[in-house]
Amino acid sequence: MNSYLLPAGGAIRFSGPTDGPVVICMNGGLAHPVPGDWSPSIEWLVGQLVPRFPQVGFAELRYRIKSWRQLGSLVIDATEAIAATRARGASDLALLGFSAGGATSLVCAGTSGIKNVIALAPWIPEQLDLAPLAGTRILVLHGSLDGDRFGFPGVSPRHSQAGVARLRAAGAEVIYTTIGGGVHGVAIRPFGRMIPLPRSGEWLRLVSEEVASFSGAG
């Protein structure tokens, strides 16, 4: 796994080939700005997906600063990650975004002409212009128990459902699936130890099906 600094200060790391279909994966963010890190949810998923799809590359983005209040900064980092991946010879791209990474992936898909998005528990703010996403295939997965619970922030499924209605009105091809018993995220990494969260296997199954469809491996 190789990581590279991006021009604005973010970073990207690659697993698998970079000259075929590649999935670029984007983390979420907190309300207050903190230095970016590698997402445990995405890292766990990529670790499971790489051996299943040896012909597909996976690129993980680490923002400079991760905060959903600084969406413009997230989009700059993600746009640079897309350019870096294309420069390494990717034949086709899909975007996978978790939480605030959902908004980031939708913005970037619209501006970069990418037609496949996987959005995990996505934040889809009302001010986003969704018109450029007409014709884009978007899989939205959301845990039924997500939301602000027990002192932990999250995104309510009702929020993404409202966003999906707007996406469909804009002409996007959207598939929405609720994961019963799922929470906000797929894995956590307390004290450096990776721990899958409830229903992680179902998140993985559904993401795997979409990666297979995108890459032609299905």
Q: How far apart are CA 21 and CA 130, in angstroms?
A: 25
Contact 107, 75 (CB under 8 A): yes
| pLDDT, tens digit, 9 for 90 and up, residues 164-188 | 999 999 999 999 999 999 999 999 9
Domain boundaries, the chain: 2-215
CA dihedral 192, 13, 132, 138 (to 10 degrees): -60
> The dihedral of CA 192, 194, 195, 199: what is its sign?
positive
Percentage of the chain surpassing pLDDT 90?
A: 94
Residue 143 has pLDDT above 90, yes or no: yes
The pair of three-digit structure tokens given for residue 181, joined into one six-digit string = 């018993």
Q: How far apart are CA 86 and CA 108, in angstroms?
A: 14
Q: How far apart are CA 102 and CA 107, in angstroms?
A: 9
| pLDDT, tens digit, 9 for 90 and up, residues 54-109 | 999 999 999 999 999 999 999 999 999 999 999 999 999 999 999 999 999 999 99
Which pLDDT belongs to residue 151?
Answer: 62
* Assigned CATH class of 2-215: alpha beta
Percentage of the chain surpassing pLDDT 70?
A: 97
Which pLDDT belongs to residue 5?
Answer: 96
Contact 139, 96 (CB under 8 A): no
Residue 194 has pLDDT above 80, yes or no: yes
Q: How far apart are CA 78 and CA 55, in angstroms?
A: 23
